[in-house]
Amino acid sequence: MTFSTRGGPTSPETVETGTTVPPSSQPPVALDVDGLRKIYRSDNGDVEAVRDLTFSVSRGELVCIVGPSGAGKTTLLRCIAGLLDLTEGSVTLDGQSVDGPPEGMAVVFQEYGRSLFPWMTVRQNVEMPLKEKGSRRAERREKVDAALEAVGLADVSTAHPWQLSGGMQQRVAIARAVAYEPSVLLMDEPFAAVDAQTRADLEDLVRELWRRLGVTVLFVTHDIDEAVFLGQRVLVLSNRPTVVLEDVNVDLPDERFQLETRSSPRFAELRARVYELIQAAKKGVRSTAEV
Ligand code: ADP
């Protein structure tokens, strides 16, 4: 594999690169969101989508953002990706202020069908951002091979996206994102459009890639179970105008299994906590009690 391992899981064990992370050391901040506010202005009136969001994601973390529909998750993600101007506050990636699409970010969207180019093969789709980045041919080939191998698509590299199932197309989008070796990988409800079994497989793939490659992931979903299953932390958003209700630490073991983890008592407690927060938010109650 030729992927860079910029961080890796932040737990105090030895990660695959052989680097020992002492429990006290804090990995550097990859992404910092400070006082973000977003108001959509139009002739029909203003909509305050996001009121005041402040959080950061350390290098190598896998953080989930969960909130009810209309809570401003997509707005937040577009602000982070430099696709929307902020009304107030700042977004910083690797210490650089984001004021347009930053080079160090890759985004996987829900609509894989629209994010892949149908006239290009799987390999060409994965390779394209590397070409734009100016990577050399041999390096591109190596990275594309490694990424396709990592997502289990090495044998369909010459197929076109439309010849693949929805789950496989989303794997192509994930391969493209990891081959690019972003500083932060943003995922916007990436599995909302696939069936339950495929979704579980793709969740396992994200955990595996994160653990193996050490990529920093910010994963947005409206699915509470998915957020708790995937994340090391879950940021629970309020209803619009949005603030962070609670930063829930997911103290489940690093090895997660669809059946075992989801049926564990701790999973149920964490799930109930996030659910409770979202329900309370809908009724306008702001709770800060610990799980
Ligand atoms: P989520 O992704 O959590 O469902 P969104 O970020 O899509 O939420 O939307 C948050 C709020 O902002 C919603 O009330 C939505 O109607 C509003 N909104 C989103 N985009 C626009 C826009 N371009 N103009 C005006 N209001 C918008």
Q: What is the pLDDT of residues 203-244, one digit of tens each?
A: 999 999 999 888 999 999 989 999 999 999 999 998 888 889
* Per-residue pLDDT, 32: 96
**What is the reported pLDDT for 62?**
97
Residue ranges for the chain with pLDDT beneath 50: 1-21, 287-291
Nearest alpha-carbon partner for 126 in 90, 164, 153, 99: 153
Residue 167 C-alpha to ligand 1 middle, in angstroms? 27
Query: What pLDDT, on the 0 to 100 scale, is given for residue 281?
Result: 75
Q: Which atom of ligand 1 is nearest to the CA of 75?
A: 6
Which residue, by CA, sits nearest to atom 10 of ligand 1?
Answer: 72
Give the burial class of 236: count Cβ atoms within 10 A of its Cβ; 0-12 exposed, 13-18 middle, 19 or more buried. Answer: buried
Select from 74, 77, 189, 243 the residue to mutate for testing ligand 1; criterion: most ligand atoms less than 8 Å from CB.
Answer: 74
Distance from the CA of 91 to the center of ligand 1, in angstroms?
19
Q: What is the pLDDT of residue 71?
A: 86
Ligand 1, atom 21: closest residue by C-alpha: 40
pLDDT tens per residue across span 88-98: 999 999 999 99
Q: Would the CB of 192 count as within 6 Å of ligand 1?
A: no
| CA-nearest residue, atom 22 of ligand 1 | 40
| Ligand 1 pocket residue status of 39, Cβ below 6 Å | no
- For 214, the token pair is 């050490």
Return the pLDDT at 16. Answer: 39
Q: What pLDDT, on a 0 to 100 scale, did the predictor assign at position 70?
A: 84
Contact 7, 60 (CB under 8 A): yes
Q: How far apart are CA 123 and CA 143, in angstroms?
A: 11
Nearest CA to ligand 1 atom 18: 49
Cβ atoms 60, 10 nearer than 8 A: yes
240 lines ligand 1 (CB under 6 A): yes
Q: Which amino acid is at 246?
A: E
Under a CB-based contact definition with an 8 Å cutoff, are residues 66 and 235 in contact? yes
